[in-house]
Amino acid sequence: MYKQWLLLIILQAMLLVACQNEITDQQGQTKRIPDEQFLKLQFRYGFGNELNIYEMQFTKDLVLDGYVTIKFWLTTSEQESIANKLNEIDFKNLPDTLAVFSNRDSTIVQVVPSPGRQFIKAKLNGFEKEVGYYIPLPDDDSATEKILELTDFIINIIQQKPEYQALPAPRGGRI
């Protein structure tokens, strides 16, 4: 009998923890309450994909079908892992802009069609930094390696979230 009561108490505790970030609205629908967003992040990549935690939204480029924007936020754990990655790559000391320049004429090398300026802007503990970059990125550059590591890390977090997975797949493509 003791084991059954203990199991019941454990199950109730788990249910309480699982539901603490949910509310029921006036229509009886359960909605998630976002965790506190202590890490502010804005990340533009591709031809119009953008995570904007300042506005708590994500915009996905659907190519032929335009863009879709949804409410989007990061869990505390996700924010902590991104903050750790920012520290690991020394984000605050990366150059403000990464671009490929030709040695002869100092012009920017561009991909056509160009996805335009990509950037990551992060604000944590009162410090804010933005790193902008263009495709292609400079070869054999430690800043390039760090920014690619960070972008892959953030994109992986975004793509694993159920909110992202519920979005339609892009129709068409860009050359």
Asked whether residue 20 is domain-assigned, the answer is no
Alpha-carbon gap, residue 174 to 70, rounded angstroms: 23
Asked whether residue 8 is domain-assigned, the answer is no
Q: Domain total for the chain? A: 1
Alpha-carbon gap, residue 29 to 31, rounded angstroms: 6
pLDDT of residue 18: 44
Residue 113 in this model has a pLDDT that exceeds 80: no
Residue 90 in this model has a pLDDT that exceeds 90: yes
Asked whether residue 124 is domain-assigned, the answer is yes
CATH of the domain at 158: 3.30.1560
Per cent of the chain over pLDDT 90 is: 62
Q: What is the pLDDT of residues 130-151, one digit of tens each?
A: 999 988 888 878 999 999 999 9
Alpha-carbon gap, residue 175 to 172, rounded angstroms: 10
36 and 30 in contact (C-beta within 8 Å)?
no
Residue 25 in this model has a pLDDT that exceeds 60: no
pLDDT of residue 20: 46
Asked whether residue 161 is domain-assigned, the answer is yes
Asked whether residue 9 is domain-assigned, the answer is no
pLDDT of residue 100: 73
Asked whether residue 27 is domain-assigned, the answer is no
| Domain range for 105 | 32-165
